[in-house]
Amino acid sequence: YKETVERRYYTVTGERADEETIDHIIETGESENMLQRAIQEQGRGQIIEVIREIQERHDTVKEIEKNLLELQQIFLDMAVLVQTQGQELDNIEANVGRANSFVEGGTRKLRKARNLQKNTRKWTCIGIIILLIIILIIVLPLVLKK
């Protein structure tokens, strides 16, 4: 109730009331008659001006509230985007991991293929040498007999 009386006093006079003034208004019961007396004493024009000022403040508060709601929506949208991009980054990371394992597997298979190629060449050369030796063994006695 003290806060209500303090607000009314501020609205009527435009000044902040101290504790003593608020207590006096409450004790004497003048809180209800204060607005009517102010209208009679100060005139209708000044009260209307105060009411206009209060309305402007109210409109400003409403505008700030609207802007804060828009800002909240922007942050919510950003949170959704960050979450979506986080999932995309997880997918990219998984694909890079799979590609890495494929490259490692390919490297192992290439080494194995090189070893097989070397062994095949070696055995082919050995086979050709053995074949030449066999041909020489067969042809040389025939040539020497003549």
Model pTM? 0.40
Domain range summary for the chain, segments of one domain joined by +: 66-145
Q: How many CB atoms lie within 10 A of CB 9?
A: 21
Each residue's pLDDT tens digit, 33-58? 666 666 566 555 666 777 788 788 88
How far apart CA 106 and CA 103 sit, in angstroms, is: 5
Each residue's pLDDT tens digit, 101-142? 999 999 999 999 999 999 999 999 999 999 999 999 999 888
